[in-house]
Amino acid sequence: MKLRLINNWHLNMYRLSLTIVIVIFFSSSASAKYVYEYFDEIEPLLMEQKYDEADKKYENLNKNVRLHVVNGSIVGATYKKTVQWLKKKDELVIFLEKVNTQTNKYEPNLYKNGISAKDCRSSSCESYIFSFLNKGLPKTLPFSPEFVDYINNSIKETANLFKVTYKKVNDIAESEKNKKIAAIQAKKERDAKARKIERDRKAEEIRIHREKEKLAREKIEKEKQEVLNQEIARIDALAKSMGYSGYENENIVSLIYKTQKEGGLEKYLNQVIGCHELDKGPCEIWYPKLKAIQILNNGVLYSYSEYSRGEVVNFSVFAEKEPGKIYQEGQEFTNTFYVFTGMLSYTTVTGAKRTVPSFAKAKF
């Protein structure tokens, strides 16, 4: 930081002007002096910080010396400003010494380039700025060269003390700032780790819960399948005991679609076909789409037509009428047990001959 020190050229010019004044008014006096020579007893008191005694000496000087340049407003104002500056400088030195012994109670005032008490929020708290050293001190002084050197040295020493103290306070502030930043970062990392642990814990709980649900479902399905297998075996045995070739737990729509693709319809001849009560879902889905299109004397012709998975599925089947029932076109295929009796040929109203799978209601 650049300090504004006493300009010796201004000092010499001021002394010269004072000398000229003295010579003009007192050219006949052999005892004419430079103005600063009248301060030979005051300057030591100022340098010893005995400001009250210096003020008294200055007042006595005004009474005893009849010189306008000594007791006039120019020199008087300069003297008072100098004393005020010295007192403020002393206050600053005391403040800096206090800061050096209680550094943790102070912080750098970065906005004003100074030092303030921590949490300073008002004008009454302790706060000093470096620019103080450049303010209040007169640019020219009616003092001796020794006293001017004292002023210059005071400025340098105080500036160095301020610089060292400010660095000390600023280093501590920076260290505390870095500690706070590190603490905040560490907290963020701890919180993030805790959140991850909590997420992982919840995810593990959900996984375990879902695994248990899956196992429970698999167990239920397995038990259902075991019961269904027992029922299929029972109905298969019943069907065989009644002269049928066996029982197949399958719906007719899936059966026709599969055999259209793969063949093997003959394997189901005289076999009971239909959904068991424990597994009736497929029949409930497909049979409503198998509609009666023609009512014949001994049976009903049903048709299935649907576009699915990029292909058109289209077929017809014949089912014998059940005694006592009345049928009408558009009626859904009945969900019950049927027996595949073979292929049935018929002639359409246009004269075309058609052959379709034929089914009859199982008699049990």
Contact criterion met (CB below 8 Å) for 320 and 299:
yes
β-bridge partners, 114: 109, 129
User: 293-346: per-residue pLDDT in tens?
Assistant: 999 989 999 999 998 778 889 999 999 999 999 999 999 999 999 999 999 998
pLDDT digits (tens, 9 = 90+) for 74-123: 677 888 889 999 999 999 999 999 999 998 899 988 666 788 888 777 66
The pTM score is 0.49
Q: What is the mean pLDDT of residues 204-231?
A: 95
* Low-confidence winner among 35-39, 196-200, 242-246, 274-278 (lowest mean pLDDT): 35-39
Helix 73-101 with 51-64: angle, nearest 10 deg: 170
Could you tell me the pLDDT band of residue 3, with boundaries at 50, 70 and 90? very low
What residue type is 199 in one-letter code?
A: R
Q: Are 78 and 147 in contact (CB under 8 A)?
A: no
